[in-house]
Structure 1
């Protein structure tokens, strides 16, 4: 049995301005979110073939669409920390070996002002970091990232220049149009690939507005 869970970043209430500028749009990859106190919950599980195979998993959260493609096989032994067991280990009788899937999550620093906008015109840099669940014992390395921007609601997309800026971290530079040329704001489409050949494509229909 393999497991997919939702990862989020901690929020610091003492620094509201910092977190307005740093927007965490980590995708939800949870098959189910379970409340284990005072209720029963169903678990969705999949009996994977023993041999390695390629899988696709898609999710949509608050309009953000994410599609993962990754390689997995049936675990032969558990690969989870004792302090963080798989959900199935808690509520399913004899679930079998369990481990997290190697899904790439994306974290963004959009460099927004306090009103969540960016000045129109010129080139605006944003930082994208790929990461994995902490419970994955030997995560791959994100080796490539491609970025596209749309100023017409996703009808057309324009590639943006991107360069590596540290482990699993990339800086992409968006050529901003005039404000009137993007009345609905800026959409982003990010595609990342790791050293194991796993990929993620995430589309954010309204990443930020121009002023």
Structure 2
């Protein structure tokens, strides 16, 4: 009996840049000794053999200084749950893998409203947008219900909550971050985002240096 998690890489890699903003996709997944690897992993997928009892599990990764921790409920699949167009990797590489299902991990996508040099104006309030999403392979993903945004201007020594955080659309939230003067944040602005979904699963992503002030 297998569960499966997609490995996503490329933290701090901007996609679809425009003159006015960059959309930054910060997401990575690495298995960290919480679940025993029973099958095999590829560059895209890691498979695990789970016990039948439902339990809360944790994944933790750190890539290029970006730390992400997932906590979620899981158990041994009672039936397979993968699209026929994207079968479980274990079906191809593991002998008698059993039933397979992707894990309900929340990933985060950011629109930080930055200029092309990854900077934002100093002083005043700065809006950002954060969207939670799941693997396409997950047939019935939960809904992200809560999002907390915190910012740091001293390299992560202290964190302050965003001035406001509001739901903008399904799984999407906007927040207003208060920027100090540039000389008060010489190392730039760090972000710490915590999201919770309707199943009680969570993700916390810490980005020590998300962008610079100008």
Flag whether TM exceeds 0.5 (same fold): yes
Q: In the TM superposition, what whole-angstrom CA distance separates every residue of 1:137-176 from its partner, at most 9, and x where no partner exists?
A: 0000000000100000000000112110010000011000
Match of 1:28 in 2: 28
Range with greater deviation from structure 2 (51-60 or 104-113):
51-60
* Distance change in 2, residues 1:89/1:197 (3 Å): same
Q: Secondary structure, in 3 states, of the residue corresponding to 2:49?
A: coil
Q: Distance in 2 between matches of 1:162 and 1:12?
A: 23
Unaligned ranges ≥5, structure 2: 32-39
Equivalent in 111, 114, 123 of residue 113 of structure 2: 111
Match of 1:210 in 2: 213
- 1:123 Cα deviation from its structure 2 partner: 0.1
Q: Distance in 2 between matches of 1:16 and 1:155?
A: 31
Quick check: which one's strand share is greater?
A: 2
Counterparts of residues 51-200 of structure 1 (less than 5 Å): 51-160=53-162, 161-200=164-203
- 1:47 Cα deviation from its structure 2 partner: 2.8
Q: Cα RMSD (Å) of the superposition? A: 2.4
Aligned residues: 202
Q: Distance in 1 between matches of 2:200 and 2:146?
A: 10
Match of 1:40 in 2: none
* Distance change in 2, residues 1:125/1:139 (3 Å): same
* Distance change in 2, residues 1:20/1:121 (3 Å): closer
- 1:6 Cα deviation from its structure 2 partner: 2.5
Q: Secondary structure, in 3 states, of the residue corresponding to 1:180?
A: helix
TM-score scaled to structure 2, two decimals?
A: 0.87
Q: Distance in 2 between matches of 1:154 and 1:35?
A: 31
- 1:12 Cα deviation from its structure 2 partner: 10
* Distance change in 2, residues 1:175/1:108 (3 Å): same
Given that 2:110 and 2:130 are in contact with CA atoms closer than 8 Å, whether structure 1 keeps it comes out as yes
Counterparts of residues 40-55 of structure 1 (less than 5 Å): 45-55=47-57
Given that 1:121 and 1:176 are in contact with CA atoms closer than 8 Å, whether structure 2 keeps it comes out as yes
* Distance change in 2, residues 1:158/1:127 (3 Å): same
TM-score scaled to structure 1, two decimals?
A: 0.88
Given that 1:4 and 1:30 are in contact with CA atoms closer than 8 Å, whether structure 2 keeps it comes out as no
